[in-house]
Amino acid sequence: MDVAALRAKIRDIKNFPTEGILFKDITTLLKDGPAWRFAVDSLASHYQKERVEIVVGVESRGFIFGGAIAHQLNAGFVPVRKLGKLPGKTIEVEYELEYGRDALAMHEDAIKPGQRVLAVDDLLATGGTMGATLRLVEQLGGRVVGVAFMIELGFLKGRDKLRNYPLHSLITYD
């Protein structure tokens, strides 16, 4: 398997979730065992030498990739969720969306100062969600050693918002 074969496993859905959007559906990749293994192994191998202690996954598809990558790296996993979804005390951050504002939360004891953190999500679009996630990590004193995505929509320039971090995407659509 290679990245081209992996890309072929991603299905395009027109006009989802709204008119004019071309949605990159990864469920077709996730259900293919060899493709799923290749995706996780490829992303995890990029960070083998970074001594990652915590993988942070962004709700909800970031949980799928983040948990598997954390397992591969022998690291802990921390979920970043929408407000009101975590049971313990949390820290929160608001961020801008293309069409409004949203907020994310993380348990206040999720990351210890100085811990080496890899942040993971399935897709990089405009960078707003990941930017907010990285602010949470840094608020707790975590050291971001990488930011990983399965897919990057390069034409949306989300990488520009994350330019201060080492970023790796497996598949890029320009």
| Cβ pair 101, 94 in contact under 8 A | yes
DSSP 109-168: TSS-TT-EEEEEEEEESSSHHHHHHHHHHHHTT-EEEEEEEEEEEGGG-HHHHTTTS-EE
φ, ψ of residue 83 in degrees (nearest 5): -60, 140
Q: How far is C-alpha 115 from the chain's CA centre? A: 18
61 catalytic? Reply is: yes
81 catalytic? Reply is: no
Looking at 7, 11, 53, 98, which residue is catalytic? Answer: 98
Looking at 19, 50, 61, 81, which residue is catalytic? Answer: 61
* Active site amino acids: 61, 98
